[in-house]
Chain A
């Protein structure tokens, strides 16, 4: 209760100044790809107070007399990209002491000023699931973040749910990622990995039962256990498991555990997902896919394919993409969609995978991922076709604030690299003078 109040307070203190765009602003004459609904040639995107207030063609969107017009003729506007698995922010999670560490929060080990956040802005990523790990069965709790500008501390990037609690999932892995032969309390085999995870969830079930029986009586409550508290959230469906898994048999193991414990899970990487596409679809479990420029690099990814997203989509799986930054760089996240189309995925579904699918995967489908009235004003302005290598992200907007502008030399440096591009964020307000409402 106290925690929840503090979070609501935090929401006010940190979030309020950002939603400060008073006058309505209309972005006109661009091709708008709203993701939900058909593309609109010569569209209008109307934004106010950090929210989208209308999307449509020039005839359907009514503009008030005080509207500020921004002409983006010849450009393409689409929702800000959502990355469902990244490691930007130099975060650390669990340490080497144990294979399962649900108590560890990325919140307590991330640098909000890291240059990698700016690179993600340059890539058009406005919402991101930043993960701890890896190398554990459970590396700890993840964070869902908004890529807001000029963050000085992690609180500036958090996303709060309707109860005022900051949002995040929990990272799990199987296969060779967490196997350490002779590694003390770490598993040496796949079967052992599964057994260790099942044991933890059985304990969590018992812990939940004790809490339930206590019925609010503090004297009957079990001793507080941070790890168990997190796993109970998982069992209650309040915290989604983001499960690193490559090989087809490891994917099946995740599905088996999901069935046993009923948790909500997203399959990540799924390099061999194409081999068990129907099984994944039947389990109604979403998949977040990464594409790598060549097969291998480790034994579990010898059979990785560009075709995987298209195959999973056709099987009926909800498919998102991720960067796993810096496995692939946030700045060319859109390229993943291009390669998926190259290997058979439809253009519509590939764009959906970059945006709305990931929004759903992060339980943010009602707030981000598409250009619809009432949603956050998170969008990107592209120089052309989203699937062309020659297309650049020109601007990235988060909640009505411009956080990246390729025409600004400092932002251009971040976008292409060069001397000083890797330096973590200094406190500067460059480019912000033309932010709508000047909310900084």
Chain B
């Protein structure tokens, strides 16, 4: 691990590793006395140091030769002040004076913390063994009652991995391999457990249309038409339940009623053009909130997607083409964007290697295939925040938003650049050079 940006100008000493900082972040969220009683022994650091560390991390100034705020043009020689977990100020070095007690970090390029708009990590782990693959229960085609938070492992290695590339927020959950595989959640890539990590416990319901959702072996759904019929039957039941004065209390009925009431959107993974059209048809029939996912055939039905008004979380740029995704293109993100459709990028679900993709790499490839740097960065920052409904809080560097930043030693998209630091809620959570 190479030490890097930490000039620590005001403190006159170097900061400890990102791991310690990560733990510090956890600590900040607990009362100090409780912490000392319960955890100090485990961390093996003195309470005195902790007090100092909390003070340091509470107030940070990040200087960047280029600061991509994603709210307006990038700032040259910009400064971002972080205080108490939030962004306190952002502007040029002339506009924003750094208070004397702030710890100063510097980087060539500063971006908002990256957002992966659709992942499965935390539920699925890097070992790829039965005990760490929790994003699909084989017990039924329709299981919207399965909560992602009940399977989420905040200490999963893959979460640490993407955090080291600047990813600070993930929309993760049940994988697209059953008609209705379960719920998704939104988490910061930090925290010792699910409670510390979670921003939104139930974000969307994961639905898959097409051959990946076929049950096989004589089970239903065995055809695409059957998939649609089964899904519609559930939604009709939910529509009726909503009208009842004493609706059923069972978990499935409850969650599907909130879909009908437009409280929770469906995340519909649909790659072939006919599946995209089915997603739109069902969404309109029941007046649902829908986010279209993957959409490998988007180029064939761009007008229809645009007319639906549904946003898109497009497949990873380097996703493998094959089966329902045989027509995917590295230019899909650019073409969807050019059509005026709100679009974000995903790492997606991977069954083998790489066990997770890294949205930074995928956005880089999109930038090399038709998108401007800014639009490619928007896919994994502000536009992703909008589609997952958290743009008031994350996705751009603006006063009052969460202090989530990523720092790079060059163009973040270049193969040979490195992420040199990641900040979440005002705390440096990674300082390895990746």
User: Which positions in A face B, CB cutoff 8 Å?
Assistant: 292-299, 301-302, 326-327, 329, 332, 335, 338-339, 341-342, 387-392, 416-422
Contact A419 B327 (CB under 8 A): yes
Interface presence of B322 (CB below 8 A): yes
Contact of A418 among B161, B299, B365, B413 (CB under 8 A): B299
Chain B positions within 8 Å of A418 at CB level: 299, 327-329, 331
Task: Kindly report which residue of chain B lies nearest to residue A338, judged by CB atoms.
Answer: B415
B310 at the interface (CB under 8 A from A): no
Nearest neighbor of B358 in chain A, beta-carbon distance: A293
Contact flags B310-343 to A (C-beta < 8 A → 1, else 0)? 0000000010111000111111000000000000
Query: Given A387-B416, A419-B299, A294–B327 Cβ distance below 8 Å?
Result: no
Nearest-CB residue, chain A, relative to B331: A416
**Contacting chain A: which of B94-102, B347-355, B395-403?**
B347-355
Contact indicator A332/B416 (Cβ below 8 Å): no
Q: Is B369 close to A, CB under 8 A?
A: yes
Given known pairs A294-B126, A294-B158, the reply for A417 and B321 (CB within 8 Å) is yes
Within 8 A of A (CB), among B179-201: none
Output the least CB separation between B239 and chain A (Å): 37
Contacts of A417 in B (CB 8 A): 321, 327-331
Closest to A339 in B: B415
Give Cα A419–Cα B298 distance, bound, in whole angstroms.
10
B45 interfacial contact with A, CB 8 Å = no
B128 touches A296 (CB 8 A): yes
CB of B369 within 8 A of CB of A416, answer yes
Instruction: Choose among B129, B320, B327, B413 the residue that contacts A389 (Cβ–Cβ < 8 A).
Output: B413
Q: Which residues of A contact B128 (CB under 8 A)?
A: 296-299
**Nearest Cβ on chain B to A181's Cβ, whole angstroms:** 14
Task: Determine whether B361 belongs to the interface, using a CB cutoff of 8 Å to chain A.
Answer: yes
Subset of 13 A-B contacts with CB under 8 Å: A294-B162, A294-B358, A295-B126, A296-B125, A297-B355, A341-B415, A389-B364, A390-B367, A391-B368, A416-B330, A417-B329, A419-B299, A422-B321
**What residues of B have a CB within 8 angstroms of the CB of A292 in the complex?**
353-354
* Cβ contact within 8 Å between A419 and B300: yes
Chain B residues whose C-beta falls within 8 Å of the C-beta of A329 in the assembled complex: 318, 320
Q: Which of A387, A420, A421 contacts B415 (CB 8 A)?
A: A387
* B residues less than 8 Å from A338 (CB atoms): 414-416
Whole-angstrom distance between the alpha carbons of A302 and B128 in the complex?
Answer: 10
B326–A422 contact, CB under 8 A? yes
Using known A-B contacts A294-B158, A417-B327, A417-B330, determine if residue A342 contacts B417 with beta carbons closer than 8 Å.
Answer: yes
> Chain B residues in contact with chain A, CB under 8 A?
125-129, 157-158, 161-162, 297, 299-300, 318, 320-322, 326-331, 350, 352-358, 361, 364-365, 367-369, 413-418
Residues of A within 8 A of B125 (CB): 296
Q: Which of B326, B353, B414 makes the CB contact (< 8 A) with A297?
A: B353
Q: Is there an interface contact between B329 and A388, defined as CB atoms closer than 8 Å? A: no
In whole Å, how far is A297's beta carbon from the nearest beta carbon of chain B?
3
Pairs A-B, 4 closest by C-beta atoms: A338-B415, A296-B126, A297-B353, A293-B354
Which residue of chain A has its CB nearest to the CB of B158? A294
Whether the Cβ atoms of A294 and B161 lie closer than 8 Å is yes
Do A297 and B350 have beta carbons less than 8 Å apart?
Answer: yes
Q: Apart from A292-B353, A301-B353, what are 17 other A-B pairs with CB-CB below 8 Å?
A: A294-B355, A295-B157, A296-B157, A297-B350, A298-B127, A298-B352, A299-B129, A302-B127, A327-B353, A332-B365, A338-B414, A342-B416, A342-B417, A389-B368, A392-B368, A418-B328, A421-B329
Rounded to whole Å, the gap between the CB of A102 and the closest CB of chain B is: 27
Known: A296-B157, A421-B321. A389 touches B350 (CB 8 A): no
Task: Point out the residues of chain B lying under 8 angstroms from A302, CB to CB.
Answer: 126-127, 157
Is the CB–CB distance between B129 and A293 below 8 Å? no
Contact of A294 among B331, B356, B414, B416 (CB under 8 A): B356
| Closest residue on chain A to residue B296 by CB atoms | A417
Interchain CA distance A299-B125 in the complex, whole Å = 11
B418 partner residues in chain A, CB cutoff 8 A? 342
- Min Cβ gap B367→A in Å is 7
Q: Are B318 and A332 in contact (CB under 8 A)?
A: yes
List of A residues within 8 angstroms of B299 by Cβ: 418-419
Q: Is the CB of A388 within 8 A of B414?
A: yes
CB distance from A327 to the nearest CB of B (A): 6
| Chain B residues with CB below 8 A from A391, complex form | 368
Residues in A with CB closer than 8 Å to B364 are: 389
Contact, CB under 8 Å: A295 / B161: yes
Contact B327 A326 (CB under 8 A): no
